[in-house]
Chain A
Amino acid sequence: MIRAIFSRILAAIPVLVGIAIITFFLIRLIPGDIVNVIMGQDYGDPVFEAELRRLFGLDRPVHVQFSDWFTSLLQGDLGHSLRTRRPVVTEILDRFPMTLELTLAALIVSVSIALPLGIISATRRNSTADMAARLASLMGLSLPNFWLGILLIMLFSVAWGILPSGGYADFAFSWNHFQYLVLPAVTLGTSLAAVTMRMTRSSLLEVLGIDYVRTARSKGLPERIVIGRHALKNALIPVVTVIGIQAGGLLGGALVVEQVFSWPGLGTLVIRSIEQRDYPLVQGLIIFLAFFFVLMSLVVDLLYLYLDPRLRRRG
């Protein structure tokens, strides 16, 4: 088991290094170079230009730049924002809790919609309920989340006036805080629910055809126990993976949904930093979000080991 865990962690390392390399060179792909882009109308001022070059370390060979940058990265130093002059790490960590809260809430919303629908859909295959659930999931997959967000605002904020159309209140266990969370979380959770529901359905359908389920049925166990204790337990393994993969996708979705609801998380920060050409911040955010995504996949992998004992032996 410990060997299996270690091999999973080791496998993540090349991907993390790959991400770091891609991000490092991505920023250096800027047409012209980053200094010219930042200087804009100040172009031609040699003192400012030299200062910027030194700041970005562009006056040194690329491999030196990379190794310095990589060492700082390992020490958790992502440089400073060009606009606020604050450390990029501080900027990110200030906003991260909001994005995490939104993502977790969306995850809860999606699982509580997807699991029951997926189970109903699989156990009553080809019934009206099954057809309706499948159609709903395809619609959910095809709905752009920003549009769903706008539709929800039209309904709950404009027409009925029961929920705010956007904004944020400092975290507290009160309605005053959570009222802002409802619409963004439902918006973000819906597309994930669609994928999870489809996976639950197909995975459960597959398991229901396997011998041990037939045995459980033929020894007279009630359907509730056959499904709950025998089939679902095994069917949920791939579902966990899908939720894990999608949880990373949720981060991408959060970038858009935060913008729709003016939610002050990393998404709005990403957009602002791109618009302001605050490259150290853009670079830091990309690395942070991609690393977070990989770590989530790693956690899912480890969870998978726990859920499926067969994988532990294979290592």
Chain B
Amino acid sequence: MVDAELQADVTDIQDHEGFLKGLLHDPVGVAGAIMIGLILLAAVLGPLVAPHDPTMIYVDARLAAPGGRFLLGADELGRDVLSRVLYGARISVQVGVTVVAFAGVIGVTIGLLAGFYRGWLDGILMRIMDSIFAFPTLLLALAVIAVLGTELRNLIAALVVVYVPAFARIARSATLTVMQEPYLEAARSLGARTRRLLIKHILPNIAAPVTVQFTIGLAYAILVEASLSYLGLGVQPPAASWGSMLATGKPYIEFAPWVSLVPGFCIMFTVLGFNLLGDAMRDTLDPRLRTVQDG
């Protein structure tokens, strides 16, 4: 869906300055950027500002209500919820960024090559991508984890596998559009080599739709990481992950709702931030939407 939406609009993306300006004028995009900034801040500064060690158990403070020594309360073992969500931000951002970085590089390379060379290479690469794409996201991630085991790097590997096809499809369709541009023909007739064509001419011009996919991909990678950790198949205890905090807090929702409310809110806040920014980026890139909004 994203693929098709972006395909038509690649021609409009060479104006990077205009893109940024448009984004800054969109309150939705600004709100998203601020929210993401806050989460990044928490991820970077978490260990400095966290009032307690996230794995430290205060036996006397089990399920302590928010306030006093524990600003956001304590969990079922007596660990500080605030410190744990701050460290959790670190894990979520780390997983999200690593996943989209790897999936982005692999996917964009595949998409570039498929779109540039076409023919049998395109056929084979894209059929493989289609087959991976045919799995429901969470199911495929679960399958990879079932095979490799529940470790953080396996979780990341699983999510990379899941997200490569989305990048490949977008990079391919953007490449196909760019390939028809006169400037590419000009570069070619001037004798530019394949590597130069790919890196200097095509890559910068498919950057915008790929960036949108990065932003939206981050939102979903964080959401899927949280889901897997909730299911007990992602980040393993005692590490503080938002998803696993939610799962361990669930039995206590009757008398200590904060244990699951706080991490759940953090997941929603982060994913919403990336979604808002991604949405604004897509709107800015899509001339059709712009006319709809203006008209």
Interface residues of A (CB under 8 A from B): 14-15, 18-19, 21-23, 26-27, 29-31, 138-139, 141-147, 150-151, 153-154, 158, 199, 202, 205-206, 209, 241-242, 245, 248-249, 251-253, 255-256, 259-260, 270-271, 273-275, 279, 282, 286, 289-290, 293-294, 297
Q: Are A158 and B254 in contact (CB under 8 A)?
A: yes
Bitwise, B242-271 to A at CB < 8 A (1) or not (0) is 010011001001100100100010011001
Given contacts A15-B131, A144-B268, A271-B233, contact A249 B137 (CB under 8 A): yes
Q: Are A154 and B257 in contact (CB under 8 A)?
A: yes
Tally B residues with Cβ within 8 Å of A. Answer: 48
Q: Number of A-B pairs whose CB atoms are under 8 Å?
A: 136
Q: Are B137 and A245 in contact (CB under 8 A)?
A: no
Residues of the B chain whose Cβ atoms lie less than 8 Å from the Cβ of A27:
147
CA separation between A153 and B227, bound complex, in Å?
Answer: 18
Q: Among the listed B127, B243, B247, B288, which residue makes an inter-chain contact with A18, where contact means beta carbons less than 8 Å apart?
A: B127
A/B interface sample: 21 pairs, CB < 8 A: A14-B131, A15-B134, A21-B131, A22-B132, A29-B147, A141-B271, A142-B219, A144-B267, A144-B271, A147-B268, A150-B260, A154-B253, A158-B254, A205-B292, A206-B288, A253-B138, A255-B139, A256-B230, A270-B139, A274-B146, A275-B232
Interface residues of B (CB under 8 A from A): 1, 127-128, 130-132, 134-139, 142-149, 219, 223, 226-227, 230-233, 243, 246-247, 250, 253-254, 257, 260, 264, 267-268, 271-272, 275-276, 279, 288-289, 292, 295
Q: Are A289 and B136 in contact (CB under 8 A)?
A: yes
Q: Among the listed A18, A253, A259, A279, which residue makes an inter-chain contact with B128, where contact means beta carbons less than 8 Å apart?
A: A18
Question: Closest chain B residue to A291 by CB distance?
Answer: B134
Q: Are A26 and B144 in contact (CB under 8 A)?
A: yes
CB of B236 to closest CB in A, whole Å: 13
CB of A303 to closest CB in B, whole Å: 17
Question: Closest chain A residue to B272 by CB distance?
Answer: A142
CB of A197 to closest CB in B, whole Å: 14
CA separation between A208 and B254, bound complex, in Å?
Answer: 49
CA separation between A140 and B144, bound complex, in Å?
Answer: 28
Q: Are B272 and A138 in contact (CB under 8 A)?
A: yes
Task: List 17 additional contacts besides A15-B131, A22-B132, A260-B250; criterion CB under 8 Å.
Answer: A18-B127, A18-B130, A21-B131, A29-B147, A138-B279, A142-B275, A146-B243, A150-B250, A150-B253, A150-B264, A151-B264, A154-B257, A202-B292, A206-B292, A242-B1, A289-B136, A289-B139
